[in-house]
Amino acid sequence: MPRQRKRRPNWPYRFAWLAIVSCVVLYIVGQTLLAGMTYGRRSYGTDWGLCLVTALLDATVAAWFVAVGASIGSFLNVVAYRLPLGRNIGGHSGCPYCNTPIDGTDNVPVLAWIQLRGRCRCCRLPISIQYPLVELAVALVFLWIYVTEFASGGSNLPGGSWGARGNGFLRLTVTPEIALRLGSYLFAISGLIGAALIAVRGKSVPLKLYLWSLVPWVVSTLVLPAVIIVKWRVSGELSLTDARLDAVASLLCGLVAGIALARLVAPIVYPGFDPRLLAQNAVTRGARQWMGALGVAGAIVGWQAVVSLGWCIVLSGCLASLLFRRFRNRVSLGDLTVWVWFGLLLFRANWAALMRFDVLPASWPEVIRQVLGALGVAVVCLLYRILSYRPPLEDAGELLPSVDSSSQTDE
């Protein structure tokens, strides 16, 4: 009788589940304590049972956001590979080596890669760790947006109360305005992350990716103009038609302001690019997709916040260039398109606080303050260019295998 081989325990997979359970427990405990401190001053004391139930509900919705984010990250891995090649992003993926279609049980984001020990189930050849890292990163982005914006009822936005954040469902009232605003924002930032995954490999970001990223935001503002966070002008009560026209004007002003700021700093970050943006060389391509990315972000935040957003993006790029300096010869860290999503994430999470922080005197005309702020962004871009410099290459080295995605299924 042949001797059966003893199966080794999959400790990484077990530790992954242990980490997930630990994070959920810590989240529930933290939300319970936070709720108790929030309502502990009532005359009858703290209702810890109610606080626990609320924390469990909050953790359930947070887990849903994480799961959706990880699935979107799985899809973005496919988009980042196929879209620059002009291929269809639909259909199932296969192993990059043996082309075996990926089974549904092996498509669970992050966990499937760990369970298979980073190898194909069929041919047992190694699969890049970039796939689960992207899935995990997008899952954390969705969780961050949930905690800072949705669970706080928009306290991070202009006019919100900073003290209301972090209280989960205790103070949350879900309205169509909040739902549309959040959904379109998640869609847009997912598109910007997809653009970053393409740009970091030195590939050209298709214009249609930016257009599709903006479609939900445009539709939401036309359906419900109150979705616009900051209008392009101060106006009184408007009819529904006038409000929609006002929303379209706000979108266009933000879009134009974002493109204008990107064009201002483009000669610094992308020296030698074609001013007409018609050339197909790597430098002009980078400038073109940088303008598109900042235009999308500008349409979301409005023209008044574009300069502050630009500061967040460039400073994020400077910090990331320092942290990932050893990889600058392998990936395209010098393209600001890579950091637009991260700068937008940081800016929007702290928008209300940044609105209260005035570097220039408030008595100065708004136009002067915006122009001086934009010039300041241009100066910081010089530092970014120095930190992210690498020998000029026409195309960055591929991070992904040259066949197809490994453990992803197109959504």
Place of tokens 């195309």: 395
Residue 378 lies in a domain: yes
In this structure, the answer to whether residues 82 and 194 fall within a common structural domain is no
The answer to whether residue 406 sits within a structural domain is no
Question: Domain for residue 1, yes or no?
Answer: no
- What pLDDT shows up at residue 34? 80
Q: Please identify, among 137, 153, 174, the residue that sits at the C-terminal boundary of a domain.
A: 174
Point out the domain boundary residue: 151, 174, 197.
174
pLDDT at 36: 76
Residue 189 counted as domain residue: yes
- Give the model's pLDDT for residue 83: 87
Tell me: do 215 and 166 sit in the same domain. no
Q: What is the pLDDT along the chain (411 residues), one digit of tens a residue?
A: 455 556 778 888 899 999 999 999 999 998 888 877 766 555 455 677 878 888 888 899 999 999 999 999 999 998 998 888 887 887 777 777 787 777 777 888 999 899 888 888 888 888 888 889 999 999 999 999 998 888 887 788 887 655 444 455 556 677 888 889 999 999 999 999 999 999 998 888 999 999 999 999 999 999 998 888 888 877 656 666 688 888 899 999 999 999 999 999 999 999 988 888 888 888 999 999 999 999 999 999 999 999 999 999 999 999 988 888 887 777 777 789 999 999 999 999 999 888 888 777 778 888 888 899 999 999 999 998 888 876 444 444 434 433 343 334 443
Instruction: Specify whether 202 is located in the same domain as 149.
Output: no
Cα–Cα distance, 95 to 107 (Å, whole number)? 12
CA atoms within 13 A on the CB side of 42: 11
Number of C-beta neighbours around residue 152 at 10 A: 24
Distance in angstroms between the alpha carbons of the first and the last residue of the chain: 46
Cβ-proximal residues to 276 (8 Å cutoff; 6+ apart), any chain: none
Rounded Cα distance between 229 and 177, Å, is 10
Asked whether residue 167 falls in the same domain as residue 242, the answer is no
Count of domains for the chain = 2
Helix then strand then coil, in percent of the chain rounded to 5, is 65, 0, 35
Indicate if 111 and 128 belong to the same structural domain.
yes
* Sign of the dihedral defined by the CA atoms of residues 320, 341, 138, 56, in that order: positive
Q: HSE (CB half, 13 Å, CA atoms) of 205?
A: 31
User: What are the residues whose beta carbons fall under 8 Å from the beta carbon of 194, sequence distance 6 or more?
Assistant: 76, 79, 80, 83, 209
> What is the C-alpha to C-alpha distance for residues 35 and 24, in angstroms, rounded to an integer?
16
- Residues ≥6 apart with Cβ < 8 Å to 280: none
**Residue 401: per-residue pLDDT:** 39
pLDDT of residue 70: 95
- Cα–Cα distance, 140 to 132 (Å, whole number): 12
Q: Which pLDDT score, from 0 to 100, does residue 396 have?
A: 40
Instruction: Provide the strand spans (E) within 27-112.
Output: none
Asked, for residue 5, whether it belongs to a domain, the answer is: no
CA atoms 363, 367, 369, 372: torsion sign: negative
169 and 217 in a single domain? The answer is no
Contact present, 189 and 388 (Cβ < 8 Å): no
Cα–Cα distance measured from residue 55 to residue 134, given in angstroms and rounded to the nearest whole number: 28
One domain for residues 238 and 360 = yes
Q: What does the pLDDT read at residue 172?
A: 67
Does residue 27 sit in the same domain as residue 134?
yes
In a domain, 408, yes or no: no
Is there a single domain that holds both residue 193 and residue 167? no
Q: DSSP readout, 40-104?
A: TTSTT---HHHHHHHHHHHHHHHHHHHHHHHHHHHHHHHHHHHGGGT----SB-B-TTT-PBPPG
Residue among 10, 9, 55 at smallest CA distance from 28: 55
Which two tokens mark 293? 């990315």
Task: Tell me, yes or no, whether 23 and 85 share the same domain.
Answer: yes
Give strand pairing partners of 94.
101
Cα R_g (the chain), whole angstroms: 23
| Cα gap 148→386, rounded to integer Å | 33
141 and 39 within one domain: yes
**Which of 126, 143, 174 represents a domain boundary (last residue)?**
174
**C-alpha span between 188 and 211 (Å, rounded):** 10
Alpha carbons 136 and 119: distance in angstroms, whole number:
18
**Same domain, residue pair 155 and 43:** yes
Domain range for 224: 179-399
pLDDT at residue 288, as a whole number = 93
Residue 6 lies in a domain: no
Q: d(Cα 242, Cα 374) in Å, to the nearest integer?
A: 31
In a domain, residue 409? The reply is no
CB-count burial class (<10 Å; 0-12, 13-18, 19+) for 278? exposed
Distance of CA 172 to the CA centre of its chain: 23
